[in-house]
Chain A
């Protein structure tokens, strides 16, 4: 089966610019996660979706970050405006209802804010 797909793989922007990341989960996986991974650290959860509903966004910096999963399949994570400290890898993961504990990760988007 195809894995989690993310685009773009790399993004370089100036601070204060907006940026968006896209994720397509594994087919049939109704749970989708966005993580941020700083250099040398483990991934940290930003938001979790069950179908189209954001059920855990407690770690999402809502002043500048937003996310959507309108049809319960693919998802977009946006930052506006970006700050220098937002430079990181943004990972998307998905899991199924049946095997809900196991998360499968996409390749990530490496964001560099200059």
Chain B
């Protein structure tokens, strides 16, 4: 079955710096990779996603890159702001199976 490893588990950056979170998946058939942001006590919110036919996707300060050969994908946040502080989860899914396998999460703290 699919397994997703996520690193680092915690990340502290200064406001304005960049943050990178990396996930590695095991099932090469996985083809959809969403990223969720979860603030304390709130629901996981989809912030960006990527499909396996694309190598990179960007949305303002957030970008995701995918390396299918190495089976890893990364979340990049540039010009971090205090409101980016949250737990970020990656997930991998075989399209059509509906079964998300989540990483263990990264607690990002942006220091003002």
Q: Which residue of A lies closest to B103 (CB)?
A: A42
A100 touches B96 (CB 8 A): yes
> How far does the alpha carbon of A45 sit from the alpha carbon of B100 in the complex, in Å?
8
- Residues of B near A44 (CB, < 8 A) are 102
> How far does the alpha carbon of A108 sit from the alpha carbon of B45 in the complex, in Å?
12
> How far does the alpha carbon of A33 sit from the alpha carbon of B46 in the complex, in Å?
16
> How far does the alpha carbon of A42 sit from the alpha carbon of B4 in the complex, in Å?
10
Q: Does B104 contact A (CB under 8 A)?
A: yes
A43 touches B100 (CB 8 A): yes
> How far does the alpha carbon of A108 sit from the alpha carbon of B40 in the complex, in Å?
12
Number of residues on chain B facing chain A (CB within 8 A):
24
B44 touches A101 (CB 8 A): no
A49 to chain B, nearest CB (A): 10
B43 touches A40 (CB 8 A): no
Most chain B beta carbons < 10 A, residue from A33, A45, A101: A101
> How far does the alpha carbon of A92 sit from the alpha carbon of B36 in the complex, in Å?
15
- Residues of A near B96 (CB, < 8 A) are 100-101
A102 touches B34 (CB 8 A): yes
Interface of A with B (CB < 8 Å)?
3-4, 31, 33, 40-45, 48, 56, 91, 95, 100-108, 110
12 extra interchain contacts, Cβ-Cβ under 8 A, other than A33-B98, A100-B98, A103-B34?
A31-B98, A40-B104, A40-B105, A42-B91, A43-B44, A45-B100, A48-B98, A101-B49, A101-B96, A105-B44, A105-B45, A110-B41
